[in-house]
Amino acid sequence: MAFSAFCFNVNALETPQISAECAALMCVQTGELIYEKNAYEKHSMASTTKIMTSLLAIEEYTPNRKIKVTSSMLGIEGTSMGLLPGDTVTLEGLAYGMLLQSGNDAANVTAIALGGSVENFALMMNNRAKKIGMKNTNFVTPSGLDDQNHYSTAYDMALLGCEAVKNTEFLYICSQKSAAVYYGNPPYRRTLTNHNRLLSSYDGAVGIKTGFTKKSGRCLVSCAQRGGVTLVAVTLNAPDDWQDHREMLDYGFSVTQSFECAFSADGLTLPVVGGISNSVSLSCEKALAVGKTDDVKSVFLSEHFLYAPVKKGQVVGQVRWFQGDEVIAASPVTANEDVTLQKTENKKEKQSLFTRIKNYFKEKFQ
């Protein structure tokens, strides 16, 4: 048995020198932190908070649920998608309002509609954060308006960004440069425009969310995809955030490549007990992996033998590829042909089968 890993030539750029106070760059496929600057330092994160609020709205699995906007849901300062008391809007429409227009009104309406109150919704946000692994984050507001107890870290926000873009509906919404959304009393067509400049200026950009308050400074969580690799970049308090993200993402794509892992099963067989053939040949498909190096090792896992009958295409094992102790890819090992059950017509032949099994184990463990 043999393996090979095919990795593109890696021409790594120099480590970026960025303006942000805190930053993190993470690979979505592996969760690997590729670059960081004060990534574990607690900091307010402004409207990038709406990534969590939008994700919870989308995860309700009722995107067309209609929300009746009341005056108690509104009265919040800052950016707005233009909701008024008496308006009808769907959860999906609120998600568009948060991710494109950065509507604080949309975030507040979402919180009260789903949690019953902003305080209860904050508990929902923090519970979801714990499941993601955001250990240094505390949500107080659904919009990201300043509060001394509302904070996160660049690392935690990268975890959140990676989790969010794994949701296909979330990724679709945050990647739109503009969108038509219906809401009002009665609902009518509005056009919302995305504040994320990278969608138009960076090749492969697909999201995610901007943010700004005087306390937080300019905050940005971005996502880009190239060559099978998806990266999430985070900056908190970055005077030159657009350029910071271009440099971070360029650096990430220069050191992280997708590559093909192959396992040669030529000549590899597994013993078969009770079949018309004593063994079956095997095959294994290639797997795609993502990593910073081509230092990859493979391990073949299977039972010591199979019982007949064996069907062509039957999964009989697995190959796993490792970088260090981490599994980066896996592919099933399958049987190449059928092995039918050997017919036994009398007691003597059945006893012969038992003897064959006994002899197999005797030889195996001697």
In this predicted structure, what is the pLDDT of residue 13? 85
In this predicted structure, what is the pLDDT of residue 263? 86
pLDDT surpassing 80 at residue 284: yes
Beta bridge partners of 298: 321
What CA–CA distance (Å, rounded) separates 28 from 121?
27
Mean pLDDT of all residues in 289-307? 80
Q: Where are the alpha helices (DSSP H) in 59-117?
A: 91-99, 104-115
In this predicted structure, what is the pLDDT of residue 360? 62
| Residue 255, helix vs strand vs coil | helix
Do 300 and 317 touch, CB atoms closer than 8 A? yes
What CA–CA distance (Å, rounded) separates 25 from 251?
9
**How many CA atoms does the CB half-sphere of 169 hold within 13 Å?**
16
CA nearest neighbour of 335 among 261, 289, 277: 277
Mean pLDDT of all residues in 200-219? 97
pLDDT surpassing 80 at residue 39: yes
**Regarding predicted confidence, which is higher, 202 or 60?**
202
Do 2 and 300 touch, CB atoms closer than 8 A? no
Domains and CATH numbers, the chain: 2-255 (3.40.710.10), 260-365 (2.60.410.10)
Give the model confidence (pLDDT) of 128-141 as tens digits.
999 999 999 999 99
Q: Which amino acid is at 126?
A: N
Rg (CA), the chain: 27
Element (H, E) at 54: helix 50-58
Task: List all residues 6 or more positions away from 92 whose beta carbon is below 8 Å from its beta carbon.
Answer: 58, 63, 64, 173
In this predicted structure, what is the pLDDT of residue 4? 32
Work out the percent of the chain whose per-residue pLDDT is above 90. Answer: 74
What CA–CA distance (Å, rounded) separates 188 from 184?
6
In this predicted structure, what is the pLDDT of residue 1? 35
